[in-house]
Amino acid sequence: MATLGVNIDHIANVRQARKTVEPDPVQFAFLAELGGADSITVHLREDRRHIQDRDIFLLKDTIKTKLNLEMAATEEMLKISKKLLPDYVTIVPEKREEITTEGGLEVKNNQKYLKDYVNSLKSSNIEVSAFIDPVHEQINSAEEIGFDFIELHTGKYSDLKGQEQYVELQKIIESTYYAIDLGLVVNAGHGLNYQNVRNIASINNINELNIGHSIVARSLAVGLEKAVREMKTLISTN
C-alpha cells in the first residue's frame, strides 16, 4: 500500500498573498499528520513565492513524520538542504514563469552535473529522488546518476480523460515495474485528486503518493485533518 505525502505549499500561498503570518503552514502540517499523512512535502522555490526558509527549518524541528524537500538543483538549494538535513530531497525542474511544475526533470542530458549534485547530498546522508516523466530513458539515467528514488510525474494522466487517460496509466504502470527492476524506489505525484487517485494507488509497489492542491482545496470545506483522512482512505482501500 502506498503511503501519503501531503504537500502544504498551497497553505503558504494563502499566507504570501497578503505577506502576513497566517495561515502558518507549520501548524497545518500538524493537522495533516493528525489526518494520517506519512510525510510532509514542501517546495522551496528560488523566488520564495510560497514556502519560506523559516518554514522548512521549523518543520524539520516539529513534524513527527518525514520531511520531503522539493527543490531545484542549484548551489543555493544544495547549501540549504545540507544545513537542513531533510529526510529526503526531491529534485524538480523549476521555471520562474510557471504556475506549478510543468513536467519532469531532464536527467538524461544533465547526467554529469546531477551525478555530482546527488553525490554531494548523499554524502550528508540525505536520500535523493528525481521527479521525472514515465519514460525509460529518464528512468535509466536516474539509476545511472545514483538517485535512490524516482517520483513519476502524473500530471499528464491527471489532465487526460477516457481512453487517453487509460493509455497514460498503462505507461505509468509499466514505468513503475521497469524502475523497480532497476532497483529504484518509485513514488508518484502531481495533479492527483479524489477522483483519479485510486488507479495510481492500486499500482503494486508504488511507495508513496505526493498530493497537495486537491487536499488543500478539499480542506476549505471539511478541514485539513478530515481532508487528509479521506485521501488516506482512498489510497488504502485498493
Catalytic residues: 43, 70, 190
Give the amino acid at 171.
K
Q: Which helix (H) or strand (E) holds 180?
A: helix 162-181
| Of residues 8, 70, 65, the one with CA closest to residue 37 | 65
As a whole number of angstroms, the distance between CA 44 and CA 52 comes to 7
Q: Which long-range contacts (CB under 8 A, 24 or more apart) does 171-176 make?
A: 171/134, 172/134, 172/200, 172/203, 173/203, 174/134, 175/134, 175/135, 175/136, 175/139, 176/134, 176/152, 176/203, 176/204, 176/205, 176/206
